Structure 1
C-alpha cells in the first residue's frame, strides 16, 4: 500500500510539473493537456509519407471493414450472456453467475504494471500507425504524427487532414477507420504464431513451475536450491502446473522430506513450518504466477536462461491479449469508436445508392449503438465494482 501511495504521489507531481510548464513546452511543439502529452516527431511523419509503406498497408486494408464488422458482432455476442447474468444477480440480490466480459485495464492494479504498460503501448502505437499508413496510401496528407503519453501509457498519435478525408468516397474512409483494429489483429496473430512455434503454447503441456527466488534461510536454501530453475518433479510425481504444485504441497507436513527434481538438479528438502498454515509443509521459494513453457529449441532451454524465456512468454501473452481486446472493443458501434465511424461510412454509401436502405441502416445503426452502450456499461460497472471490492 505504501508503494502504491508513493507511486501515486510521484505520478501527480510529474503531471502537475508538466501542466505548469505547458507554455514553455508549447514553444518546443509539445502539447500538454490533463493526463495527455503529445510530442510531434518529424521522422515518424516522414515514415507515414513513404509510398511503399502506404501501399502495403492499403493492400492489407481491403479486408479491414469486413474484419471490423465481424469483430463488432462478436464483441456484442460476448457481452450479452454476462450482462443477462449480472442483471439477474442484481434482481435476485445475489452474486452473478458469470464474470464481466470486460476488464478495466489499470496497470499495477488490475493487470501487471510493466507488462500492462508495454502491452497497451504496443497496441496503441500499432493502432494509430495503421490508421496513418492507410490514410497516406489513399493520398491523405498527415499533418502531424508523434508519440504520446496517456497518463502512464506510452502511445502514438496520427493527425490526418480531415478536409482531405471528407473528399474521399465512403468505402475509402471505411478502410482508414477500420485499419487500426486490423493492425491489432495482425500484431496478435504474429505473437500467437511466435508463442505456438517457439514455446509450443496451445499444442503442448507446460514444462513445470519456475522458481524466481529462494527465501533466505528457508529449507530450500539450506538444501542448496538456487534460482532461477524449473521444478519438474516432487518426489516421483510429475509437476507441470502451479495448480499441481499447490495440490501436492497441501498434503505435506512440517518435517517431511521432499525430493525436488529441477532443471538445476535434485535437492532433498526437509520441509519447515508454513508461516500462515502451521500444519502445512514449507519449502521457502517464490514462484512465477504463470506456468512455464520450455522453448521448443532444446539447446536454448538452459537454467540460466529460464527467466528470460519465461518473461518473453509472459509479455507475448499479454501483448496478444491486449491487442485482441482493444480491437474487439474498438469495433463496437459506439461513438466515437472506430466501429461507429465505420457504420457511418457504410450508411453514407448506402444512402447515396438507395435513400430507403440508407434510412433503414441509419435506424439499425442507432439501435446497435444503444444496445452496445447498454451491454458495455453493464459489464464495465460490474468490472469496476469487482475492482473496488478487490
Structure 2
C-alpha cells in the first residue's frame, strides 16, 4: 500500500507540474502538438503522411480472419464464464475485470501500463496503415492521457471512408483488434518458453513471517524445497505437515548467488509469509541473470494479457468498439443495436459479481 501511495503521489505531483509548465509555455507545447484540456486531458496529435502499401492491403485479408477468431474466442470465453457462474462447469478460469491498484499492484502496475501504451499504439497504427492501403486519407495520429489513463487514436477522413467500399471500411476496423490478437499470441508463446513449472519467484515477504525471520528476500528465485523442484503444490505440502519440521530451500538470491536456507517450521505454522510469482526458465537465468529474467517474464505476461484482452474487447460488438462498428456496417442500425446490446449484456453478466 505504501508503494501505491508513493506512486500515486508522484503521479499527482507530476501532473500538477505539467499544468504549471503548460500555463507558462502554452505556445511552445501547442507548436509541438500538445494540448491540455481543463487541466485533466493531455492530447498529442500530429499529422502524418502514410504511404499506400499493397503488402498491407494483402495482409488486411488475414486481419479479417484474425478478427473473426478473436470474436469467436470472446463469445466462447464469455459463455464459458456464464456457465461457470451458473455451476454448469467447474475448474474454468472466469473472465475478470482488471483494476489497477486492486488486482494489479506493485511493479505489475508499471508493466501493465507500459503494455497498454504499446498495445494502443500498435492498434492505432494498424488502423492507419490499413486505411491508407485502401486509399482512405489519414488526417492524424496521436495519443491522449485522461486522468492518467493512456489512450491512442487515429483520425481518418470520414468522407473518404464513406466513399470507400464496405470491404475497405471493415478491413480498416478489423486491423486494430487483429494486430493485438496476433501480438498477444506471440507474447503467449514467448511467455511459455520463458517460464518454468518448477521455479517460483518470491515477490514479497511479509514482515514478521517465517520467510522474514530466516532472511528470504523479494526477487529471490526458489529452485527446490527439501530437494524437490519448487512448485506451489510442493510448498503447500510441506507447509501443511502438522509436525515440527525443517524446510531446506535452494534459492538464487537477488544478487544472483545460489544458496541453501534452512527454515524451522513449527507444527502450528502453515504459512511461509511470501507472495509468489511464476519462475523464469533456469536457462534464461543463467544467460541473463535473475533480475532481468524476472522482469522479462512480467513483460511477456502483461503483453499477453493486455493484447489478448484488447483484441477480444475490441472485436466484440460493444457499440463504440471496432466490432460494434463492424456490426453496424454488416447488419444495419436496428439489428446492429440488438447485437451490440446482447454482447454487452453477456460481457456484464460474465464479469460482474463474485
Instruction: Name which of 325, 338, 344 aligns with 2:322.
Output: 338
CA distance in structure 2 between the aligned counterparts of 1:334 and 1:215, rounded to whole angstroms: 42
Aligned to 1:367: 338
Residue 27 of structure 1 pairs with residue 30 of structure 2: yes
CA distance in structure 1 between the aligned counterparts of 2:8 and 2:285, rounded to whole angstroms: 39
Aligned to 1:37: 42
Residue deviations 1:308-360, cap 9 Å, x none?
A: 1122112202211211111111111221111121122224xxxxxxxxxxxxx
Equivalent residues in 2 for 1:237-248 (5 A)? Answer: 238-248=228-238
Q: Compute the displacement of 1:152 (Å).
A: 2.5
CA distance in structure 2 between the aligned counterparts of 1:22 and 1:72, rounded to whole angstroms: 45
Query: Which blocks of at least 5 consecutive residues in structure 1 are unaligned?
Result: 90-95, 348-360
Does the residue aligned with 2:197 lie in a helix, a strand or coil? coil
Residue deviations 1:244-275, cap 9 Å, x none?
A: 22331232766x443333454552524266xx
Instruction: Name which of 277, 299, 305 aligns with 1:321.
Output: 305
For the 8 Å contact 1:269–1:283, the answer to whether it is kept is: no
Q: Compute the displacement of 1:142 (Å).
A: 1.8
Aligned to 1:350: none
Pair 378,193 (structure 1): closer, same or farther in 2 beyond 3 Å: closer
Task: Identify, as 1 or 2, the structure richer in strand.
Answer: 2
Q: Compute the displacement of 1:166 (Å).
A: 1.2
CA distance in structure 2 between the aligned counterparts of 1:4 and 1:227, rounded to whole angstroms: 17
Q: Compute the displacement of 1:108 (Å).
A: 2.8
Aligned to 2:67: 68
Residue deviations 1:285-314, cap 9 Å, x none?
A: x56x2221315xx4x532971221122112
Q: Compute the displacement of 1:373 (Å).
A: 2.0
For the 8 Å contact 1:61–1:179, the answer to whether it is kept is: yes
Aligned to 1:354: none
Does the residue aligned with 1:208 lie in a helix, a strand or coil? strand
CA distance in structure 1 between the aligned counterparts of 2:12 and 2:213, rounded to whole angstroms: 45
Residue 127 of structure 1 pairs with residue 123 of structure 2: yes
For the 8 Å contact 2:317–2:340, the answer to whether it is kept is: yes
CA distance in structure 2 between the aligned counterparts of 1:70 and 1:178, rounded to whole angstroms: 11
CA RMSD of aligned residues (A): 3.9
For the 8 Å contact 1:130–1:179, the answer to whether it is kept is: yes
TM-score, normalised via structure 2 length: 0.78
For the 8 Å contact 2:70–2:181, the answer to whether it is kept is: no
Aligned to 1:279: 268
Q: Which entry has the higher C-alpha Rg, 1 or 2?
A: 1
Residue 108 of structure 1 pairs with residue 101 of structure 2: yes
Pair 218,142 (structure 1): closer, same or farther in 2 beyond 3 Å: same
Query: Which blocks of at least 5 consecutive residues in structure 2 are unaligned?
Result: none
Pair 36,247 (structure 1): closer, same or farther in 2 beyond 3 Å: farther
For the 8 Å contact 1:271–1:281, the answer to whether it is kept is: no
For these two proteins, the number of residue pairs brought into alignment is 341
Does the residue aligned with 1:291 lie in a helix, a strand or coil? strand
TM-score, normalised via structure 1 length: 0.72
Residue 194 of structure 1 pairs with residue 190 of structure 2: yes
